[in-house]
Chains A and B, each alone.
Chain A
Amino acid sequence: MSEGNVMSEGLRIQREEEYGAVEKTPRLSPPLTKPEVPSHEPAAGGTDVEISRDSEIFGQSAGRRRSRNFRSKLALTLCALSTVIVMVPLALILFYIVYQGAGALNLSFFTSLPKPVGESGGGMGNAIVGSLILIGIAAVIGVPFGVLAGTQLAEYRSPRLSWVVRLMSDILSGVPSIIVGIFVYTLLVLTFKQFSAIAGGVALGILMLPTIARTTEDMLRMVPDTLREASLALGIPRWRTITSIMIKTAGGGIVTGIMLATARVAGETAPLLFTALGSRTWPTGLDKPIASLPVQIYTYAIAPFDAWHKQAWAGSLVLVLMVLLLSIGSKIFFGRKMKRAS
């Protein structure tokens, strides 16, 4: 409180500098030098801080001071409150997934095929396997392209190209996933006249690409230059330097990026709707439609059968556990990596 008193005088002086001095001279001439206000500071907010012009030195009235402090406390409370408010849906969602999902979850959920409407039991075994296959295809496409593109961005100095690539990958990561789905549909499904696991995997792979590329770039940039220089000075060719020194050193971070990208696409539904389509049987081939957990959840959720809704909750529990393990795991992994590095 007391520091607030002394310091607020500075604000008042600054106000005078800008709006002309106040008629009434303060009783004590201020011994303070004018505070340095950086030029890009927008004029102390204009109306933000109301300091009455005839306030005495050291001297807002106690009431004014109290109201400023009160406002500060109020804002702080509101900020804390908004954090609490956001926790409510998070808690509710997690609670319902566990509460509704756990009841419907059993071993046969993982091992058996969906049953027709009316028959009880059944599971999403095929969808879980399908999801894993799709993620596998996506990784086969997204990881090499992503890591190599990230390497280009970090290791090859070509500012103009890098600028474009960086911008494009940032934009690509903002493209709605359903549009990537349509793109792959026109590219692969129309061409081969066949919904397929490949098409679904490609769509997910495209979605992984920008995340992996940018994390790889960031991680490679964190490797000290001295490592690269030492390796090159030893006469090791550039490509060996990059693959066995740079990428290896940055490996932990790159793996984190890959895990995050995987977690993100594991829950993607929209791009699979018209690429991988869906299926009620076990996967039969990569060129055939294939079931996936998210699409199965969607189909079951909008169907009018209670038994299917239960299965959708169980599927959601499995999906969320998968995604959270991947993303929390990657964070812990990365955190440890960082601690060791520093």
Chain B
Amino acid sequence: MQGANPLRRRLGDSIFTALVFLAAFTVIILMAMMVYELVRQSLPSIEQFGLRFLISRDWDPINNIYGGLPYIYGTVVSSLLALLMSVPLSLGIAIFLSQFAPRWLRSPLGILVDLLAAIPSVVYGLWGIFVLAPFLDKTVEPFLIRYLGGIPIFAGPAFGVGLFAASVVLAIMITPTISAISREAMLNVSRDQKEAAQALGATPWETVRMSFLPLARPGIVGAIILGLGRALGETMAVTMLIGNVRQLNTSIFAPAYSIASVIATEFAEVTEGPHMAALIEMALILLFITLLLNLAARLLVQKTGSRAARFKSRS
């Protein structure tokens, strides 16, 4: 080695360096191209409909008039409902697994929760269609309608398949993301904090509330945002469960539509023209929302030094 030809040696180094940098730039170029392509392809729709696209309910492929409100509504509402169900559970899991659970139980339980993230979205959809939706339809929804039906969001009738079913499955799907990252954030809180709180006579729960939750807050908020991003972009399970009916209904039991599911159901059938531009504009909107959310979440999670985030964010 020592005597290797210096020229050859420099050549090897420069080729390798070039390859390595090429790969690194590929990542940047891919992101840039993705944004560029989506903007380019949706330009006809952006020019024709402008901001009206965001507030119009029309989706008329025959007369080529498009508006995305029902899809945006379905996406946002299903994701927020999912967060509402998932966040308390996820934080409970994160606290339990990082503080309270017996040490020998932590890693097996953590793996079990992570298993939920490993199950493919289409399998959630299948299970949702044949197990969850009928169950919600027969038991949970009639119960809620009976006792809370006076409130418009719980108004009947029960459908089974609809916004509610989609949100329940989304909640299950994002729980491992949120719990894993917030757990990581809590584990990153230094022991001193725990000991200080205990020294002050705090009960175990007070220790968690006073020292872990406040200090891990950026990481936890980041985790929740990442979970939201995942829920917004989730496609298959939602497509199979949300009902795919283009309507704005105050009841959460009613069928609805989402951005990802309209793309999944209609995109393969259109080849070009305004319809495709409108669908790609929907994708562009989704891309921008998730980009912003991810950016915010990364910065927050970085603040608490969690390295788990990046492994758990794929939707």
Contacts and interface: CB of A to CB of B under 8 A. Distances in A.
Contacts of A263: 118
B120 A7 contact: no
Given A41-B193, A270-B260, A72 B204 contact: yes
Main secondary structure of the interface of A (DSSP, over half): helix
A97 B123 contact: yes
A93 B211 CA distance: 37
Contact of B34 (A44, A69, A183): A183
A237 B232 CA distance: 48
| Of A86, A214, A235, most B-chain CB atoms within 10 Å | A86
Nearest to A4: B201
B74 to A, nearest CB: 15
A152 B127 contact: no
B interface bracket (residues with beta carbon within 8 Å of A): 35 or more
Nearest to A242: B16
A236 interface: yes
Contacts of B211: 41
Interface in A152-174: 152-153, 155-156, 161-162, 164-165, 167-174
Interface string A269-289: 110011001000000000000
Interface string A135-152: 000000000111111011
B123 A69 contact: no
B34 A175 contact: yes
Interface in A13-56: 14, 35-38, 40-42, 44-45, 48-49
Nearest to B299: A167
A230 interface: no
Contacts of A319: 120, 122-123
B287 A186 contact: no
A49 B214 CA distance: 14
Interface stretch (B22-30, B136-144, B152-160, B247-255): B22-30
Contacts of B99: 79
B123 A83 contact: no
A313 interface: yes
B38 A97 contact: no
A72 B203 contact: yes
B226 to A, nearest CB: 7
Interface in A78-117: 78-83, 85-87, 89-90, 92-93, 96-97, 100
Interface stretch (B55-63, B65-73, B306-314): B306-314
Given A156-B20, A235-B1, A270-B236, A82 B201 contact: no
Interface string B96-112: 11011100000001011
Given A182-B280, A297-B126, A176 B120 contact: no
Contacts of B267: 182, 185, 273-274
Given A41-B211, A161-B24, A172 B31 contact: yes
A11 interface: yes
A264 B202 CA distance: 42
B141 to A, nearest CB: 17
A323 B32 CA distance: 31
Interface in B77-108: 88-93, 95-97, 99-101
A236 B203 CA distance: 58
B131 interface: yes
Interface string A234-273: 1111111011000000000000000010011011111001
Contacts, number: 339
Contacts of A327: 118
B123 A144 contact: no
A142 B294 CA distance: 22
A3 interface: yes
Given A277-B268, A294-B122, A302 B240 contact: yes
B116 A86 contact: yes
A126 interface: no
Contact of B123 (A9, A264, A316): A316
B93 A79 contact: yes
B151 interface: no
B96 A83 contact: yes
Nearest to A319: B120
A89 B211 CA distance: 32
B229 interface: yes
A178 B283 contact: yes
A6 interface: yes
A243 to B, nearest CB: 8
Interface string A188-214: 000000000000000000110111011
A89 B314 contact: no
Nearest to A267: B120
A71 B24 CA distance: 52
21 contacts: A35-B200, A41-B214, A68-B203, A72-B206, A82-B90, A83-B101, A90-B116, A93-B124, A152-B21, A161-B21, A167-B298, A168-B27, A173-B313, A174-B291, A176-B287, A179-B34, A242-B16, A267-B121, A269-B120, A270-B264, A298-B125
Given A83-B109, A240-B12, 11 more contacts: A5-B201, A35-B199, A86-B179, A148-B24, A152-B20, A156-B17, A162-B24, A239-B12, A267-B121, A270-B121, A324-B118
Interface of B: 1-2, 4, 9, 12-13, 15-17, 19-28, 30-31, 33-34, 37-38, 40-41, 88-93, 95-97, 99-101, 109, 111-113, 115-116, 118-127, 129-131, 172, 175, 179, 192-193, 196, 198-206, 208-211, 214-215, 226, 229-230, 232-236, 240, 260, 263-264, 267-268, 280, 283, 286-287, 290-291, 293-295, 297-298, 307, 309-311, 313-315
